[in-house]
């Protein structure tokens, strides 16, 4: 007997293949049940899943944080990327707690049942690092600040959903729900995080092996993927959206420009201005950078030695484009208050509330990194007021 729910799913016949699309919500038990039922009844040659390898491994290994080398992450400059991943995971975690379903459970179920039945699994989503870096590098400075503010603000949200909102989330996925709020201010980010991925996933679903394919994707991607499956996307387009854009000329030179301007102002003040003001300007530079970086570290509940380090390091690192205040304070925090095994084991649960972010030693290191960097950046801007007086 045919299942009306399955019969109503989009079935696309293209390039000699039958493609059945399942649009799911990432925090819905109904989606988990539907995925299991459809794969069992359709017996496809291939199951395509809206995951990349990193996200797939994260679903398979919930204890992956235990092997994370936080110090190496900071040294390699990957702390901001890790923080963004955690912010997105935090948003999904909070929504999942209110529906009682682990985020991404239906994607994990699709992989499990396919592997159990000997069906080939294709991970068709673009690598998350590529997606995030494309969004960052294709966004202007002020919109970058809006994006960072949105992500930081999401850490403080303790959103309680009513039944209507829960029903809406069960028909979409939490990441897309978050993006809907950001789209009005940052349409370019939505284009990269949603629209480009629709094209990318449609291409890989269309070219998956076998003649009968089941594709499990977030409901928000369903219309875009269905549209792009109808035509073969040029390989040039796929290559373009699969690459990380090079840094702009401004972003490459700006870290060098700021210290160059500061040094030039001191030199000009010495030869052309009032030399008596040089000492005052130097003190202003140290205090503005040091105090605000230390304040940021303190807001993140950094160790007292990390706070002191921020005060000492920020005025120096602000003149050195190869190292930031956050890198120094983050490393000090990681060494002095190193994350314990318990911190690594519980970070997934701690993401669900603001107390957990500050209470977990691993996430606190990242908060120290971010807030000390932000304080130093603000201090640099504030200090320019006194440096200008040198002339």
Per residue in 347-365, pLDDT (tens digit) is 666 666 677 778 888 888 8
289 and 170 within one domain: no
Q: Side-chain half-sphere of 298: how many Cα atoms within 13 Å?
A: 10
105 and 70 within one domain: yes
Instruction: Tell me which DSSP letter residue 66 carries.
Output: G
Q: What is the mean pLDDT of the chain?
A: 78
Structure tokens at 169: 């989330």
Q: What is the pLDDT of residue 137?
A: 80
User: What is the pTM (predicted TM-score) of this model?
Assistant: 0.73
Structure tokens at 332: 């000090």
Are 98 and 167 in contact by the 8 Å Cβ rule? The answer is no
232 and 160 within one domain: yes
Q: What is the pLDDT of residue 181?
A: 56
Per residue in 295-323, pLDDT (tens digit) is 999 999 999 999 999 999 998 888 887 78
Q: What is the pLDDT of residue 37?
A: 92
CA dihedral sign, ordered 187, 193, 194, 198: positive
Domain encompassing residue 165 = 4-241
Looking at the 3D structure of the chain, how many domains does it have? Answer: 2
162 and 237 within one domain: yes
294 and 152 within one domain: no
The stretch 200-216 carries a mean pLDDT of 95
Percent of the chain with pLDDT over 70: 68
25 and 122 within one domain: yes
280 and 227 within one domain: no
The stretch 72-81 carries a mean pLDDT of 73
106 and 223 within one domain: yes
- Which of 160-169, 202-211, 237-246 comes out lowest in average pLDDT? 160-169
The stretch 262-284 carries a mean pLDDT of 69
351: closest CA among 133, 173, 95, 146? 95
- Distance linking the first and last C-alpha atoms of the chain: 85
377 and 262 within one domain: yes
Q: What is the pLDDT of residue 4?
A: 47
């Amino acid at each position: 007997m045919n299942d009306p729910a399955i019969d109503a799913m989009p079935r696309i016949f293209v390039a000699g293949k039958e493609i059945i699309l399942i649009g799911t919500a990432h925090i819905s038990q109904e989606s988990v049940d539907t995925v299991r039922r459809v794969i069992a009844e359709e017996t496809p040659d291939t199951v395509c899943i809206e995951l990349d390898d990193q996200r797939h491994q994260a679903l398979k290994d919930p204890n992956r944080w235990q092997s994370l080398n936080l110090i190496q992450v900071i040294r390699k400059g990957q702390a901001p990327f890790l923080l963004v991943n955690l912010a997105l995971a935090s948003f999904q975690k909070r929504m999942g707690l209110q529906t009682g379903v682990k985020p991404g459970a239906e994607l994990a179920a699709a992989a499990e049942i396919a592997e159990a039945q000997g069906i080939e699994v294709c991970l068709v989503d673009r690598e998350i690092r590529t997606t995030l870096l494309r969004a960052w590098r294709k966004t202007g400075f002020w919109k970058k600040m809006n994006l960072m503010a949105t992500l930081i603000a999401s850490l403080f949200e303790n959103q309680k959903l009513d039944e209507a909102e829960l029903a809406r989330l069960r028909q979409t996925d939490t990441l897309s729900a978050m993006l809907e709020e950001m789209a009005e201010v940052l349409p370019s980010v939505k284009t990269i995080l949603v629209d480009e991925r629709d094209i990318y996933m449609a291409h890989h679903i269309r070219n998956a092996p076998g003649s009968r394919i089941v594709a499990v994707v977030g409901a928000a991607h369903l219309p875009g993927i269905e549209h792009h499956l109808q035509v073969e996307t040029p390989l040039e387009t796929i290559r373009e959206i699969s690459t990380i854009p090079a840094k702009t000329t401004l972003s490459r030179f700006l870290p060098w420009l700021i210290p160059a301007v500061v040094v030039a102002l001191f030199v000009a003040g010495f030869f052309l201005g009032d030399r008596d003001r040089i000492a005052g300007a130097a003190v202003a530079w140290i205090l503005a950078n040091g105090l605000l970086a230390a304040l940021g570290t303190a807001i993140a509940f950094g160790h007292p030695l990390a706070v002191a380090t921020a005060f000492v390091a920020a005025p120096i690192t602000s003149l050195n484009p190869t190292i930031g205040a956050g890198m120094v304070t983050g490393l000090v925090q990681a060494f002095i208050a190193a994350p314990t095994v318990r911190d690594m084991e519980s970070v997934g649960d701690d993401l669900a509330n603001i107390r957990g972010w500050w209470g977990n030693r691993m996430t606190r290191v990242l908060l120290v990194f971010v807030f000390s960097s932000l304080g130093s950046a603000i201090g640099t801007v504030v200090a320019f007021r006194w440096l200008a007086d040198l002339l």
